[in-house]
Amino acid sequence: FILPVGVEYYGFATHSVAGNIQIIKSSDLTHWTTVGNALPHEPPWAEPNATWAPSVLQRGSTFVLYYSAVYAPTGEECISEAVANQPQGPYVDSSTLPLMCQTALGGSIDPTPFVDADGLPYLVWKSQASGSQPSVLWSQQLTADGTALVPGPATPLLSPSLSWQGGVVEGPSLVLAGGQYLLFYSANVWQTAGYSIGVAQCAGPLGPCHEMSAQPLLASQPAFSGPGGPSVFTGAQGQLRMAFHAWLPGKVGYPNSRLLFIRPIGLAGGVPSVQP
């Protein structure tokens, strides 16, 4: 996840050697320095060393970190939030229970915030597949400070419906660009070269959404394999960009590492495309 703050960009990533939430910083999206661990301590309910898919919402001088964790009493994957007064943290999670955990749907992961043109914040995430239930992307309005969900049911945005998705949609990133609500997402099996990125168009932050193409927006190429985890943001010059992770060719799947890639997004004719 890439968070622009002033003239700096902060990159957040899944648990690894740099800690629960890895964080790096850049002023040009090319040269990066390691900041360290954005979340030094998980909440008491979370299983240690099992955090992933972070994203951050800025509300004034406060920064809210959303991430996935394992609810230790049941082993289910859930969503939590932590707060800091600077983008690099340290973020503090004082919760006693997860923010969202759709137990009947196999759990909730991959949270990412969205702020509409009217300033209202939303959270978009994925429910895990469970039994006959497919994975689904959801949206729900957040409170003004971003630390809680507005009471009421969540709204489903997208389910897998295309063959290339392999029955999986996850890792959503919702943006308002070119007058359109665009929902970027990952699909297929994450540890394979078939993992790819798609995009749907939505009527608003609560949908409904529909696929813009029967094909992926971005799939494996000579430079990388299995792209996923899109994070779409606007750069300092107003250019829409997408950060994503991918394997190096021939080094697909655990325990190989996925690397950070960033590409410009074009909107010619209102149709998103990934630029060289």
pLDDT at 130: 83
Rounded Cα distance between 76 and 101, Å, is 8
Distances (CA, A) of 34 to 6, 40, 85, 144, 243: 18, 15, 19, 31, 17
Instruction: Report residue 144's pLDDT band, with 50, 70 and 90 as the boundaries.
Output: very high
Q: Which residue has the tokens 């969900």?
A: 149
Pairwise CA distance, residues 65 & 260, whole Å: 19
Residue 217 scores a pLDDT above 90 = yes
- pLDDT the model gives residue 133: 85
Q: What is the mean pLDDT of residues 189-201?
A: 97
* Tokens 């990388």 found at: 224
DSSP 8-state assignment for residue 213: -
Q: What is the mean pLDDT of residues 113-126?
A: 98
Nearest to 39 by CA among 24, 22, 17: 22
% of the chain residues with pLDDT over 70: 100
Mean pLDDT taken over the chain = 96
**Cα(222)–Cα(37) distance, rounded to whole angstroms?**
32
With 90 as the cut, is the pLDDT of residue 15 above it? Answer: no
User: pLDDT confidence of 129, banded at 50, 70, 90?
Assistant: confident
Question: Is the per-residue pLDDT at 17 higher than 90?
Answer: no
16 has a pLDDT exceeding 90? no
